[in-house]
Amino acid sequence: MKFLQQAPRFLFFTGKGGVGKTSIACATAVQLAAAGQRVLLVSTDPASNVGQVFGMAIGNQITPVAAVPNLSALEIDPQAAAQAYRDRIVGPVRGLLPESVVKGIEEQLSGACTTEIAAFDEFTALLTDSALTQNFDHIVFDTAPTGHTIRMLQLPGAWSGFLEDGKGDASCLGPLAGLEKQRTQYKAAVEALADAQKTRLVLVARAQAATLNEAARTHDELAGIGLSQQYLVINGVFPALEAAHDPLAQAIFAREQAVLADLPQALRDLPTDRIELKAFNLVGLAALQQLLAHTRSTELATETVPIQPPHAPSLSSLIDEIAQDGHGLVMLMGKGGVGKTTLAAAVAVALATRGYPVHLSTSDPAAHLMETLDGTLDHLTLSRIDPHEVTQAYRAQVLASKGAQLDAAGRAVLEEDLRSPCTEEIAVFQAFSRVIREAGKKFVVMDTAPTGHTLLLLDATGAYHRDIARQMGPQAHFTTPMMQLQDPRQTKVLIVTLAETTPVLEAANLQADLRRAGIEPWAWVLNNCVAATQVSSPLLQARAHNELREIDAVAQQHASRYALVPLRQEEPVGVQRLLQLTSPSPKLNSPQEIGHD
């Protein structure tokens, strides 16, 4: 593996959820330890399963891994770190300021930016305190900091003074309020990250356009702030030897090869490794030792016999319930790469073919479904919200209003804050809010919904709520849409995920965020399920068995109602293929389905 050759002291693994960061980080740590190196494996993943992988409890202290000499592990709990961070900031003013003001500060510190910075706060010591890590030759990090976080930590401005002067209105200034005292340590940490002799960043992706595009964006963002020592690992590549077993396997292989032949330009010159898709669960030492080895994909498969697809509701049954109301808002939420855009289009097409007026709105940057559907179906109206365009307009609006009252230094700080992900979330929600109002008379299906964090910010009380209201201006009525989202009679939220461990955990975290914002998800949709189809490939059969556990967890623990959508041979693009996803009895991968429209 190229990314392991002459490995530096610090190795960071980053990528979208579900691409295999944790498995590859664990396998890397095991391999380095087997070579006689003293290794510390550190996870900052909110849903860390490092302990589960090794079959032991780890937690927030350095713990030797008994089964692997030379290896220790540490799980930093970002939520606990964020709570400690909030307590450090809010504690001194509690009892001195009005309760409404304290609640406003706490709300401002409730989101993803605070968690991100607090986790960075926890592991900067591992980058800068030589006494703490002197017993280790390598430190392997699962889940690296984003370029957004590092850029904020590089800012030279006096944040606390900016806040104290009453200028701090925008989205991420609150989380930065507690940073001043540790700027020296942060500066040293950022320098260590940018030192190619000390640090290597490994971008992890799948052979899928969405995850590779995310890796390309991450590459550009990190390279732009000096973190240029990057490698690419494409995980879970379908092996050629499996492609001959059945039409579905053949179609998956061909689809992935087409994606790999058209890598984003930013990734083409990076040192790159490809890891074949494995048939076995990546839990336990034996599996980790095989992950990076060049072995046949089915060697450790525990099951290679056909299974009967589980008796689970179809997407068609959910649409039957949705259609009973005759109108309303249907929001599809979930992490990138799980198929939200496709399923949103499928729901919209199914409702429109039943004669209901439907407005499908998406913020998908590719918007390929919009082009495919345009003018092809009665009763269906399409709109596309360009996140870049609406964010630029929102930034211009804030700078023209609040920025006009600031001096040059204050305006520079405001401009930097407005480059945060929080800003895009709020801007996109503003655009969606204009569409939401139509749901009283027709079906509105929304793709790429705002996160629970954004919804909390928009519904916050106290000072922060008033700040957001001032930024948006008197014409932006965001309270009414929020109330509509919280009303189950008007809105149905569908959480989209995959039947894999990490995506299910991330979907459960999203559900918890939504509940904090007063929104109860209506249903879960498990997309691209191998277990919901019939396959003869030994590799796919084993994968199907692994999915059954996650499907059961969703059915028993997470969802009041759910549906399975089978993995299909062809890309579900175009009206007819979208209708197949919502057919009451879809044909499962029959040979005549191969090909494209």
* Residues that are catalytic: 18, 20-23, 45, 502
H/E run at residue 12: strand 10-14
Q: Which of 194, 147, 195, 153 is nearest to 14 (CA)?
A: 147
Q: What are residue 545's phi and psi, to 5 degrees?
A: -60, -40
| CA atoms within a 13 Å half-sphere pointing along the CA-CB vector of 120 | 30
Alpha-carbon span 539 to 245, nearest angstrom:
9
The alpha carbon dihedral of 250, 253, 255, 258 has a sign of negative
Alpha-carbon span 573 to 594, nearest angstrom:
13
Name the maximum alpha-carbon separation found in the chain.
72
- How long a stretch of residues is the chain? 597
Q: Which of 479, 560, 468 is nearest to 174 (CA)?
A: 468
End-to-end CA distance of the chain: 39
Alpha-carbon span 540 to 278, nearest angstrom:
10
- The single-letter DSSP state of residue 277 is P
Q: What are residue 397's phi and psi, to 5 degrees?
A: -65, -45
Alpha-carbon span 74 to 80, nearest angstrom:
14
H/E run at residue 40: strand 39-43
Alpha-carbon span 576 to 573, nearest angstrom:
8
Which residue's entry shows tokens 């500066």?
A: 187
Which residues are registered as beta bridge partners of 328? 443
DSSP string across 498-521: ESSHHHHHHHHHHHHHHHHTT---
Q: Which of 1, 78, 11 is nearest to 41 (CA)?
A: 11
